[in-house]
Structure 1
Amino acid sequence: MKERLLFLNRQIMPDESNEITLVGDLAAMDFTARQAIPLLLPYCAKDIACLYRYQEGCSRCGQCDINSAYAIAARYGLQPVTIQNYEMLEETLEKLKQQGCKGFIGTCCRRFWLKHDADFARLGVPGILINVENCTCYDLGKEQAAYQGSFSKQTRLKTRLLELVIDTILNSNRRFICEI
């Protein structure tokens, strides 16, 4: 796949490319505009005691990987969005589609993207998803709690890989077209 080769040509190791999935109509992705790129982040990566765990934002306290993701977003001019539940993901992707968004970057667990692969295609906004680092609600049998936005464990992000993917995309000749 040509898109995978783009990642392999940079500092991303071949085994790390297995942690990346491309969803939706990749031919529709357009990285040429200079509008904000949405960076979709799972609430479960926020510190369990964080005041922002169940709402948008980050205090940048350094207690979780969301702090690092926000720092990456700031460095590259991305718009971070915390996804609280599946319905919010649908609403966010629908809003992006209505605004003419041609792609997004996000991070979630492999089981989530496999479960919702058809949903991503149906919603019509292509994206790049990076797997998370550790066990998830699916691994712990808590997907119902996560579905409702109340998973009480903390997930780790692959922030190094996330930044390498973003850097690769932004330093290629293609940029996302969209704004949140």
Structure 2
Amino acid sequence: MSLKDTSKKFEAKLKKIKVVCFDLDGILTDSHVWWASEEVGFNRTFCIYDGYGMKLLMKAGIKVGVITGGNSISVTKRTEQLGLDFCYAGNEDKREAYMDMMKKYNVTPEEVLYMGDELFDIPLLRKSGFSATVPNCSDEVKEQVDYVTIKESGKGCAREVIDLVRYAQNIHPNIGDF
């Protein structure tokens, strides 16, 4: 089944999405961190396709951000570089951040897409109007979501979910000829 066909399957839910939230480690990264230095802390690798997809959603008026338990310079720098609408970092109990984000953007849970991969993401996955995870996470997480991506952590999995939203909401980049 193509991604466009999959999007049609979830179209009713995806059309309602106004805010897209991602966990960072294990979704936007491949779940590996390495110690860089005392000044930098832990470092991560990000997928460029995910970043471009986030920018497409933001240009279309969808709020995009991160709610992550991790916190380091690499988290801050990547979210700032992308110009994300929000970044909540440093607390594995993400419920307060989620509620604050909903209040800030005046949205209901059914208008939120959340993508996470860890056990502490389950409350947000359950609450959100559309939820997604990656194939390399635990079965307990997979059992809670609407969609499990084909692509693995940090390898374009967020873009895969972004494209589901784009197809359902008819969001396309302005690509003109020259």
Task: Tell me the TM-score normalised to structure 2 length.
Answer: 0.47
Quick one: higher RCO (CA 8 Å, sep 6+), 1 or 2?
A: 1
Q: Is the strand fraction higher in 1 or 2?
A: 2
Task: Tell me the TM-score normalised to structure 1 length.
Answer: 0.46
